[in-house]
């Protein structure tokens, strides 16, 4: 699963956590917090009405209501952000600390062995003797 899809698939759980921890939604709407925790260049959540036209592409179109706020979630995820996002989920108890991200390989992928061509014996070399001998 790509990191953007992985992040998006946890938004409902993050919102549920935030409803029980009201300060968390304020943290997630803060650019400095989002940079420090997720390495995002934009707030994790932004109020839909306050997103500038130029930054609308930085957020998924889905709207989420929490309290009286209509929020959109940041869509600017990169593979290098995966561990930070997973660490956040574990730290908040949104996923179990033993929960493995199904998209991460358990072992590093093995490189395919180079394809070897079968050995074929070279044809015998026939050396012709001097003419007339034989």
Conformational region of residue 126, where left means phi above 0, alpha means psi within -120 to 50, and beta covers everything else: beta
How high is the pLDDT of residue 80? 96
Share of the chain above pLDDT 90, in %: 65
- Please say if the pLDDT value at position 17 is more than 70: yes
Which position has the token pair 């061509």?
A: 117
Q: List, in sequence order, the alpha helices (H) in the chain.
A: 3-8, 11-20, 22-28, 31-38, 82-91
- Over residues 30-66, the pLDDT tens digits come to 999 999 999 999 999 999 999 999 999 999 999 999 8
User: Average of pLDDT values for 109-124?
Assistant: 47
How high is the pLDDT of residue 110? 36
- Please say if the pLDDT value at position 99 is more than 60: no
How high is the pLDDT of residue 82? 96
User: Average of pLDDT values for 87-107?
Assistant: 68
- Please say if the pLDDT value at position 104 is more than 80: no
Report the candidate in 67, 69, 19, 20 with the shortest Cα–Cα distance to residue 43. Answer: 69
How high is the pLDDT of residue 84? 96
Interaxial angle between packed helices 82-91 and 31-38, expressed in degrees from 0 to 180 and rounded to the nearest 10: 100
Cα 32 from Cα 14, distance rounded (Å): 18
Cα 47 from Cα 54, distance rounded (Å): 15
User: What ranges do the domains of the chain cover?
Assistant: 3-91
């Amino acid at each position: 699963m790509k990191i953007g899809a992985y992040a998006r698939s946890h938004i409902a759980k993050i919102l549920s956590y935030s409803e029980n921890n009201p300060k968390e939604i304020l943290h997630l709407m803060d650019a400095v917090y989002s940079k420090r925790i997720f390495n995002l260049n934009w707030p994790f959540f932004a109020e839909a009405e306050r997103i500038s036209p130029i930054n609308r592409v930085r957020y998924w179109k889905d709207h989420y209501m929490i309290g009286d706020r209509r929020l959109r979630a940041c869509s600017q995820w990169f593979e290098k952000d995966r561990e930070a996002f997973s660490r956040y989920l574990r730290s908040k108890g949104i996923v179990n600390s033993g929960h493995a991200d199904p998209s991460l390989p358990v072992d590093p992928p093995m490189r395919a062995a180079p394809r070897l061509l079968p050995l074929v014996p070279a044809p015998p070399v026939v050396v012709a003797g001097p003419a007339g001998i034989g």
